[in-house]
């Protein structure tokens, strides 16, 4: 057999299309799977992720809902407990707070409160992050809040492979899984294997190997961090870039292995600095790898303000590659 014969065919597509393929495949594989949320049907989804799926699967499986996040999230929880495999789409993470009671007090607690008699095999997808000038009520990064809650898994796919494959794996989980899709990734293009399948949702990934400093991030900030790593390489600094992928549970082993090798770390998180996921990751490094560190841990987070509407202020409020470069150089004593 020739080498060409064993190579996997790839398809050029956007992140948005990768998520749509994941939805389509899930509904073809399992008749219990359906999608529900605001404007997912006739409108095709707020970010066009579900465009065309209503015509393909019909209104029983692509369900437009009233503008009531608490109501339709609760309906999804009930459907999951009754044997279905619902995918609930919350238009944006800010609006998910209207369903927080359902997520925290019901979905995340049913297994515990029922003595392991019942589970909630529910997947909730939502857009997160800033960069599209959608102002303060549509642009925050609150996934770190959800990573605080026992009883759920929290995922942040940053690549096409993860955008397609994480949903597959999440739907097999007996407990709730929340998937956060950064709004700035939907138009990102790349190549995806034609036979791409499920991915491991419990492990972080080393997206770039390095020896001098660990840059730890997730979601939309991954690509800015990789850009920063390239800029650092031009100055002779080899940064290792860790994509957390799963925010709950965190993959401590991959984080500590990287920090143990580089002995320095900067955490990049689009959430606010105070009480952030970056603070949790940093504290875990202190608890588990303090004696490996040669410098204080650095953080690059969003400014402590509601995300502004004007583009120049929005860009200034969230992590950008130059800020990451500066933080890395500060950790290396080269500021």
Q: Report the DSSP pairing between strands 123-128 and 85-90.
A: parallel
Alpha-carbon gap, residue 325 to 334, rounded angstroms? 10
Catalytic residue among 17, 69, 89, 314: 69
Instruction: Print burial letters for 85-94: b (CB count within 10 Å at least 16), e (below 16).
Output: bbbbbbbbbb
| Alpha carbon distance 131, 133 (integer Å) | 6
Radius of gyration of the chain (CA): 20
Rounded to 10 degrees, the C-alpha dihedral 62/125/240/202 comes to -90
DSSP string, 109-170: THHHHTTTS-----EEEEEE---SS--TTS----HHHHTT-TT-EEE---SHHHHHHHHHHH
**Which candidate, 110, 94, 250, places its Cα nearest to that of 176?**
110
Q: Is 280 a catalytic residue?
A: no
**How far apart are the C-alpha atoms of 216 and 218, rounded to whole Å?**
7
Distance CA 315, CA 307 (A): 9
Contact 178, 128 (CB under 8 A): no
Catalytic residue flag (residue 112): no
Return all residues near 198 (Cβ < 8 A) that are at least 6 apart: 165, 168, 169, 172
Cβ(295)–Cβ(332) under 8 Å? yes
Please answer whether residues 295 and 310 qualify as being in contact, where contact means their C-beta atoms are separated by less than 8 angstroms. no
The one catalytic residue in 138, 181, 270, 314 is 138
Of the candidates 86, 94, 244, 277, the one whose C-alpha atom is nearest the C-alpha of residue 156 is 244
Task: Provide the CA 247 distance to its chain's centre, in angstroms.
Answer: 8
Just list the catalytic residues. 69, 138
């Amino acid at each position: 057999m020739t080498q060409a014969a064993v190579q996997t065919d790839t398809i050029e597509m956007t992140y948005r299309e990768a998520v749509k393929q994941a939805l389509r495949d899930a509904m073809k594989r399992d008749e219990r799977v359906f999608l529900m949320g605001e404007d997912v049907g006739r409108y095709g989804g707020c970010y066009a992720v579900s465009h065309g799926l209503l015509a393909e699967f019909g209104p029983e499986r692509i369900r437009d809902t009233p503008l009531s996040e608490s109501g339709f999230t609760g309906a999804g929880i009930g459907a999951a407990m009754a044997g279905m495999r619902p995918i609930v789409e919350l238009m944006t993470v800010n609006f998910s707070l209207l369903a927080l009671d359902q997520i925290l007090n019901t979905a995340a607690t049913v297994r515990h409160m029922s003595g392991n008699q019942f589970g909630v095999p529910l997947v909730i997808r939502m857009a997160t992050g800033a960069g599209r000038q959608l102002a303060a009520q549509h642009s925050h990064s609150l996934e770190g809040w959800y990573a605080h809650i026992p009883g759920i898994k929290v995922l942040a796919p940053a690549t096409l492979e993860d955008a397609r494959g994480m949903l597959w794996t999440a739907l097999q989980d007996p407990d709730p899984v929340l998937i956060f899709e950064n709004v700035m990734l939907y138009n990102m293009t790349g190549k995806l294997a034609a036979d791409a399948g499920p991915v491991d949702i419990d492990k972080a990934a080393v997206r770039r190997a390095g020896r001098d400093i660990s840059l730890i991030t997730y979601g939309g900030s991954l690509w800015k961090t990789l850009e920063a790593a390239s800029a650092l390489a031009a100055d002779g600094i080899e940064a290792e870039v860790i994509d957390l992928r799963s925010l709950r549970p965190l993959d401590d082993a991959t984080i500590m292995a990287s920090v143990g090798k580089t002995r320095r770390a900067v955490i990049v998180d689009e959430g606010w600095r105070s009480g952030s996921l970056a603070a949790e990751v940093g504290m875990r490094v202190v608890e588990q790898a303090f004696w490996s560190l040669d410098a204080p841990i650095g953080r690059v987070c969003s400014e402590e303000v509601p995300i502004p509407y004007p583009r120049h202020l929005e860009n200034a409020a969230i992590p950008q590659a130059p800020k990451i470069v500066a933080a890395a150089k500060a950790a290396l004593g080269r500021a």
